[in-house]
Amino acid sequence: MFYLFVIVIVLYIVGASIYQAFLWFRKWQEKKRDEKFSMDNEENKE
């Protein structure tokens, strides 16, 4: 029974880490895209 408890905790930590990595990756992509758009806008202003 103790092993089952440990497995559940490990799976929860791994799952939460993967989810956080996914959110961070999506946020990083949006930030990169926004920087690209702002660079294009600055070039067009001049």
The pLDDT tens digits of the residues spanning 1-46 come to 899 999 999 999 999 999 999 999 999 888 887 877 776 666 665 5
pLDDT of residue 10: 98
Token pair for residue 11?
């799976």
End-to-end alpha carbon distance in the chain: 68
3-state helix, strand, coil in the chain (%, to 5): 95, 0, 5
pLDDT of residue 17: 98
pLDDT of residue 23: 96
CA-CA distances (angstroms) from residue 29 to 7, 22, 33?
33, 11, 6
